[in-house]
């Protein structure tokens, strides 16, 4: 049985379609600073996007959050797609200021690819980047939790590599207290532990 209507797809160039799919694949080549648990290698942004989508879905269900699951998952999957062009910017880097500009330009380029079938790609990216919806809020919380979790479970390797301080970590996680007090309490306990272990500089 045909899955597509030949009358609707006659003008679609499959070479354009496959080119766009390879553009998406390029996100696998963007390495982040976090290490994959149980390995000595860095996580890539495509892996992070998958982890983010799964984690958002699970937390939304577990906490019975009133969110649009389809929109939430789309936001998570597209969250780091601009890094295909812009690359990853370390959370604690001093040069993070213009990262969103380069990522936005990358999303615009992908939006205009002939083989892209996602017509609201830029709209969804903007919604997660600058929006204030419940979906965007949850995404930002989980996006902060995941690299923290990887650090806690890899002996603070990224923090040690980049001489990250306790106050830096506390600062980027502070907003979670308003959304998820119980998660924030757990994070605070783990920060204390990481500092005691010497993984975070006590400053």
Q: What is the DSSP string of 119-160?
A: TTHHHHHHHHHH--SHHHHHHHHHHHHHHHHHHHTTTTHHHH
pLDDT, tens digit, for every residue of 20-66?
999 999 999 999 999 999 999 999 999 999 999 999 999 999 999 99
Structure tokens at 37: 């648990």
Query: pTM for this structure?
Result: 0.92
Longest distance between any two alpha carbons in the chain, whole Å: 66
Nearest to 150 by CA among 91, 69, 79: 91
How does residue 5 score in pLDDT terms, banded at 50, 70 and 90?
confident
Secondary structure, 3-state, 60-102: HHHCCCCCCHHHHHHHHHHCCCCHHHHCCCCCCCCCHHHHHHH
Rounded Cα gap, residues 35 and 150, in angstroms: 7
Write down the mean pLDDT value for the chain: 94
**Which pLDDT does position 52 carry in this prediction?**
98
């Amino acid at each position: 049985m045909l899955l597509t209507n030949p009358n609707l797809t006659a003008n679609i160039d499959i070479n354009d379609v496959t080119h766009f799919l390879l553009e998406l694949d390029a996100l696998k080549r963007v390495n982040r600073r976090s290490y994959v648990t149980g390995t000595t290698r860095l996580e890539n942004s495509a892996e992070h996007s998958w982890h983010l989508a799964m984690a958002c879905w699970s937390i939304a269900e577990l906490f019975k959050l009133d969110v649009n699951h389809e929109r939430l998952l789309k936001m998570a999957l597209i969250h780091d797609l601009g890094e295909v062009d812009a690359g990853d910017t370390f959370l604690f880097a001093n040069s993070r200021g213009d990262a969103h500009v380069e990522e936005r330009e990358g999303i615009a380029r992908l939006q205009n690819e002939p083989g892209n079938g996602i017509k609201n790609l830029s709209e969804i990216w903007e919604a997660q980047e600058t929006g204030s919806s419940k979906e965007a809020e949850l995404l930002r919380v989980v996006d902060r939790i995941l690299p923290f979790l990887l650090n806690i479970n890899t002996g603070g390797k990224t923090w040690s590599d980049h001489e990250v301080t306790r106050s830096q970590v506390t600062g980027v996680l502070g907003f979670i207290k308003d959304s998820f007090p119980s998660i924030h309490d757990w994070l605070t306990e783990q920060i204390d532990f990481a500092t005691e272990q010497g993984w975070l500089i006590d400053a």
